[in-house]
Structure 1
Amino acid sequence: MDFMAIRQAIQDIIDAGPLPTWREPDGSARISAIAGLIDQAPTPVTDEEAQALTLCFGPDDALGAAWALLHLIETAPGATTATYGENGTADNEWVQKLNERVAYAADEEEETN
């Protein structure tokens, strides 16, 4: 497997840590800062970056930032065939949602063939 370095803009999102809940002290401010990084991230992300970004999901939708993160991950070229959560994030509801969307895409592909 070829190793591709994670670009700095993506690493900045990862370094910001998992999305906090808005109920945490300074949660709204941290969410806003991380959402800004997500919005400015280059797309598409690589498959490797997409896997690493799953570490950034928190316990809730983080005022919508989790959806933005999910959509960023889905820009990866292998997003419709990936298996997410092998990095210890499989129990996260957002990672499960990614896997559900992959399964749905596979079902849709089967129906069209």
Structure 2
Amino acid sequence: MRAEVLSFVADGPLPDWDAEEEEIDRRVTQLEAIGKPVTGEEAAALVACFGPDDCYGVAWTLLHLVETGPNPVLTTKPAPDANEWHHRLYDRAVSEGDTPTT
């Protein structure tokens, strides 16, 4: 796994809307440093980095980065209480025909 991905993953999930602007900017910079496409291993690790909300749109950037890897990243339907971004990734893979509905 590339160092840029390891660094992003090590900092954990994206912050929520209450985070300081500097923290959000730092995470954006980390995310932008990750070259595309990501590997399957990197995509799987990045999936754990979705936070509780869209972090001012940063979660969408993360979602699009994850989708540059081999699809589908999530092959089974997430539990009802799973992170909303996991549901989005799964639903998008289903709509693209990358994974069957379960």
Do the structures match in fold with TM over 0.5? Answer: yes
Map residues 23-62 of structure 1 onto 2, 5 A cutoff.
23-24=18-19, 26=20, 28-62=21-55
* Misfit runs of 4+, over 3 Å: none
Q: How many residues align?
A: 96
Instruction: State which structure, 1 or 2, has the greater radius of gyration over its C-alpha atoms.
Output: 1
Question: What 5-or-longer segments of structure 1 have no aligned partner?
Answer: 1-5, 108-113
The sequence identity of aligned pairs, in percent, is 38
SS at match of 1:106: coil
Relative to structure 1, the CA distance from residue 19 to residue 82 in structure 2 (aligned partners, 3 Å threshold; closer, same or farther) is closer
Confirm or deny that 1:100 pairs with 2:95.
no
Shift of 1:37: 1.0
Question: What 5-or-longer segments of structure 2 have no aligned partner?
Answer: none
Letter in 2 for 1:17: G
TM-score by length of 1: 0.76
Aligned equivalent of 2:56, options 60, 63, 66: 63
Shift of 1:22: 2.1
CA RMSD between the two structures = 2.2
